[in-house]
Structures are given as C-alpha cells and as structure tokens.
Structure 1
C-alpha cells in the first residue's frame, strides 16, 4: 500500500537534513559563529573586508559608534 513508503521517505528526509544542522555546528566550532558569510560576489567580499578593517570582527554588528572619526 501507499503507506509502505513512509519509513523510506523518513530515512531519506532525515539524511538530507543532517548536513544543514552539521554545518551550523561546524561553523560555530571553527568560526565562533553559527552562520557563514557568503563571499561569492565582489560586493560581499568588500563588505567583509570593510567590517574586518573597521571593527576586527566581521560577524559582530556595529553601528556608527564603532567607527573612529
């Protein structure tokens, strides 16, 4: 019957969601932040470098108070 596919679908769904949660844990372990910044585009790379230069931590959100001047 149609319900015989449910265990197989559950197993497949479980194995497809594991990498997403694993990447969060690995980024948290390696980078100290659970999320990674996407630097595929030149603009995103420039913003990463700007944040690193201005504040020293590209993942910390800062306002104008973090900029010397």
Structure 2
C-alpha cells in the first residue's frame, strides 16, 4: 500500500496532461532543456577562462590594458 505501482503513475501522468495540455508541457520541457544547456555552456566557459588564466598569471590584466 505504501509504494505506487506503474498504473498509479500512468493515471497521474494522464491527469497532468489533461490539466496542463501537451503544448504547455512541451514548452516547459523545451524551456527546461534550454536552461540546462545554457548552464552547461556557462560551466564550460568558466573552465576555459580559468584554464587561460592559470597558464599565465596576470595575463588577464595585460589583456584588459591592451583593449583600452
């Protein structure tokens, strides 16, 4: 009685689809995927910037002065 079977989850999913509709659920899934992809890209960007700065101490300061 404590655990939910697969049929309970199927019924819950059907109710969610009826209440929210497939279009809203699809948009929510797309938005969530875009957010996760942006987060991963942000992490990759931070790692790349850190790798560039670790190679030459103070190189970021020199690069900033060159841009002025």
TM-score (norm 1): 0.40
Larger radius of gyration: 2
Write 1 or 2 for the structure with the bigger share of helix. Answer: 2
Q: Which has the higher contact order (CA 8 A, sep 6+)?
A: 1
TM-score by length of 2: 0.40
